Amino acid sequence: MRWALVGASTIAAQHMIGALRGAGQDLAAVVSTTPTRATDFARAHGIPVASAQLDRVLADPAIEAVYISSTNEKHHGQALAAIAAGKQVLCEKPLALTVSEAAEMVRAARQAGRVFATNHHLRCAGSHRAVRDLIRAGRIGRVLSLRLFHAVHLPPHLQGWRIDNPDAGGGVIPDITVHDADVARFLLGETPVSVVAQMAASGMGQGVEDSAMSVWTMPSGAMVLSHESFTHPFAGSGLEVHGDKGSIFARGVMTQQPVGEIELVTAQGRESVPYSPHNLYAQGISDFLSAVAGQGSPAATGEDGVASLAVALAVREAARTGQRQPVKVPA
């Protein structure tokens, strides 16, 4: 397909352009709010059209799909415009700043008959898929708890709007908790019903939180413990799933790379678990293209993006109020 990139962003430059081209996709245009940024980005990446006018690019019928990776507050309006123009849309997380805006995006795509997907890359990882397969195969029995360790150190080149601009959707909760919410939903196949949480500015955040810890109650009764931060240089990432017949330890897997180790521990002993080391973003694009071709769903649908945002915003509200919050996902 012929694509427009909406947002001259780091994620597009570092991961998505390669993933799209690797899947044989034609990158026809890039849209930025700043004309010079659009031009520089287009030149750097060999994209023929650079524009600061989204409407003009969307009016081109040759463009069939749009990848949105602008700052978070822009996703809603840009996605609605792309859907109204008849495009297939892959949108970055968080889908929007509010759950109702995100749900509106999903509804619009459904009414227009277009694929609308969320770029939750972690569920595309071979490691995460292997963990889910172990759970589904009953290897750890009944799931009792999931611990998510996602406290990282935000690199200097990303310490912009994420750490000081609430209006652009800054803060670790919309940035990383939203991913962890998707991981929990993907692995356990259920959505938290309520959360308790605390958040803090621990050295990087100015006017937004840079650290959060929360506990989520799942419908099955399983408990989820989740930790996200921008300020932890050496914490390492990972997840653990504990069941009444075994435990899964996945270390170093909350990342953009196909790396990390998985170990299964049961009464039979310890075993290392192999997984496919494919590129996470390439897998996401492959699943998106299949969905456009009418074969299956994208890796993370728009509905998945609404649900992950609902969890993340409930975490923030629980931390703000000090009160347990219900997770309300619109039907």
For ligand NDP, the binding residues in 131-150 under the rule CB under 6 A are none
Give the x/- contact pattern for ligand NDP in 62-91, rule: CB under 6 A: -------xxxx-------------------
> Of 36, 44, 48, 50, which Cα lies nearest the Cα of 10?
44
Amino acid at 136: R
| 32: contact with ligand NDP by CB under 6 A | yes
Taking the least distance from each CB to ligand NDP, the nearer of 10 and 276 is: 10
Nearer to ligand NDP, 119 or 229 (CB): 119
Task: Please give the structure tokens belonging to residue 88.
Answer: 């297939």
- Contact between 165 and ligand NDP (CB under 6 A)? no
Nearer to ligand NDP among residue 162 and residue 242 (C-beta): 162
Q: For residues 76 and 93, which CB has a smaller minimum distance to ligand NDP in the complex? A: 93
DSSP 137: T
The one-letter amino acid at 238: G
Q: Does 39 bind ligand NDP (CB under 6 A)?
A: no
What is the token pair recorded at 214? Answer: 């929360």
Is residue 33 close enough to count as binding ligand NDP by CB under 6 A? yes
Establish if 100 lies at the interface with ligand NDP (CB under 6 A).
no
Least Cβ distance, residue 164 to ligand NDP (angstroms)? 12
Report the DSSP beta bridge partners of residue 242: 145, 247
DSSP E strands, the chain: 2-6, 26-31, 49-51, 65-68, 88-91, 116-118, 143-151, 194-200, 211-217, 223-229, 238-243, 246-251, 261-266, 269-272, 325-326
Which residues contact ligand NDP (rule: CB under 6 A)? 7-11, 32-34, 37, 69-72, 92-93, 119, 121, 158, 160, 175, 256
